[in-house]
Structures are given as C-alpha cells and as structure tokens.
Chain A
C-alpha cells in the first residue's frame, strides 16, 4: 500500500507538446498589451483619484487569457466570475479571521477554490485575489467589499475586453470558447 502511494508520484503520462513559435509570439504580445492596458488606465485615471486598479493576480490571469485561451479556466465566466467570487470570499474571511492572519490566508484561498468550483468559475489566478484581500496591507483591507468592484471586477473586465479584441485578430485564434 505504501509502495502504491509512492508509485503515484512517478506520474503516468507525458508533457503536452510545445506550441508553435507563432503561438509563443502571440501569447507574448497579448501579455504585453493586456497588462500594459490595465497599468496605463491605473496610472492615468484611477491612481490620480486615489484608488487602485491593478493587483498582482492579473499577471497570472494574463497567462491564461493570452497563453491558454482555449482552457475552460480562461473563459469570461471564469475570468470575471472567479475574481469576483474570490474577492468576496477573501474580504469575508478577513473580516472574520483577521486576528489570525496565517489562518485567514489559508481559509481565504481554500474557500475561494471551493466557491469557484461550486459556481463553475474556477480561475487559478483568483486564488491570489482572495489572498490579497487578507495580506494586501492596510490600504486594500480598508476597502472592505468594494475591493470586489474596484480593483477586482473592473480590472478583470478590462482584461476581458483586451482579450476579446486581441485574441480575435490572428486567424489561428478565437476567443472565447463560451461566455457563461
């Protein structure tokens, strides 16, 4: 039985093939355009008003919506839904458990995963969105539930718009696979 347990760690299949050079370049360009767009809007419109539009989990979202655009994890429902659901979970857990930051962080991420599964919005980068609600510092913690709207929902929607505009230009790409 112990042997079976360790045998599972050997793996059972092989790594998927490398994508074409064209695909690599398209993913590269998409990542640049997507994140630059959100940062540009942040620096010129949102930051001057004293708010924040960018959180680190968008870097991870960009991997999916520009690098794995056919993945269920990268579809609009998951991108926007996953971030918003996880933000709400993160804020709620912080409010309840903030005296124990280490526990709050774990519970926030675990609960975000479960909530995303239950709502069919699994989007791995959103795990970070729930964690940021807990460990993102006083400025983010002070936002309360409005964190789920700005930066989270607003940023995710901007990324979605860029993904729609960018991914449908090349004839080899089509986005999304489904909306909801």
Chain B
C-alpha cells in the first residue's frame, strides 16, 4: 500500500492524496475517527472537485485580465504595429477602432505569413527567405495597414466569462491571447495564456 503516487485512468498521478497520507492524517488526530480511509478519500475527491468548480466559476475574465493593453488601430501601418509590439514586449496586439471595438488581432504569425506572401511559417522560414533574396522582406510590407494583416474577426471574450470557460476556450485552440471586451465589444483588457494558467494554479494554494 506504500505507493508514492496513485494513477488514474489517464496515467497521470491523481491530485496528490494517497492512502498513506490519509492514514497518517488519521493517526495525527489521536482520537478514533469513524470513517475508512477509502471513504475519506472519496469525500475529499468530491469536495475538492466542488471547491475547484466553485473557484473556476467565481473567477471572471475581468478579475485576472491585464488592463494595460498594447493596441493598434486598423489604419496603423505595419511599421508602427511592429514598433508598438516591440516596445510593449508583446507578441500580439488587438486591433481596435476609434469606438474601442475590437476588429481583429495581429500576432507575429500574421506578420510572418504576410511577409512570406500568404504561406505560414516560422521566423526561420522568413530568415531563410531574406538570406536567399539578399535583403530584408520587411521593406515590402512595412506600409501595409493593420486591417490588411490582422486575423479577423478576433476570438474575444466578454469580461464576465468564467475561468472555467476561458480554460475550455484556450484548451482547444492555438490562440495565445484573448482580448477582453464589454457587452458592446469594446476593448477592456487582455488575457495571456499564462494569466489563465496562473489563475488555475492558485487553486492549489
């Protein structure tokens, strides 16, 4: 019975608690506890799941979003977009109109795809192209407006989306950041994948 970890159907360790832990805890209480270790673990499992569910439903996008957003407008030239991304230290920006509504997002991938003439590829693909061409491919796209480069419509979330919904949304997609909007679609903040992972990690502590 002295296993360090137990495994569930997926082959991953079950969230921590082992029979040995339960036995140790029961001993530490000194008096006789009228429950089997198996029943205790079952109760713990259910109660923990309920606590996690309550937490992931009570935390909303607006609680964990970053309100300082680096954003660009649809008419900004790529040169300015790249400058804004570089200065902001971000790899993607939402594109918002003058009314604040999010019309798209631009990520490094969008820019690379445009520079490669529509093909998708990595930074290395692009550099290989530059070297072969004997010059930088940036120059031929630097005057393009943001609205021609962006992915549109953007995948956005409302500010009252729950952590559970955000995790579900990101789990199946390649997206790394989610613009957070109000009811009318106006930009309020941005959520990076790491913000969501960090919030999920808080459940453990």
Residues of A within 8 A of B (CB): 12-17, 19-20, 22-23, 27, 67-74, 172-173
Contacts and interface: CB of A to CB of B under 8 A. Distances in A.
A74 B31 CA distance: 13
A70 B31 contact: yes
A68 B32 contact: yes
Interface of B: 1, 19, 23, 26-27, 29-39, 41
Given A19-B31, A20-B30, 18 more contacts: A13-B36, A13-B38, A13-B39, A13-B41, A14-B1, A14-B19, A16-B23, A16-B36, A16-B37, A17-B23, A17-B26, A17-B27, A19-B32, A23-B31, A23-B32, A27-B32, A70-B29, A73-B34
Nearest to A11: B38
Contacts of A74: 34
A65 to B, nearest CB: 12
- Chain A contact residues: helix, strand, loop or mixed: loop
A141 to B, nearest CB: 34
Nearest to B29: A70
A38 B23 CA distance: 36
A101 B36 CA distance: 36
B34 A71 contact: yes
B20 to A, nearest CB: 10
Which 10 A/B pairs are nearest by Cβ-Cβ distance? A13-B38, A71-B34, A68-B32, A17-B27, A13-B36, A172-B30, A68-B34, A19-B32, A70-B31, A13-B37
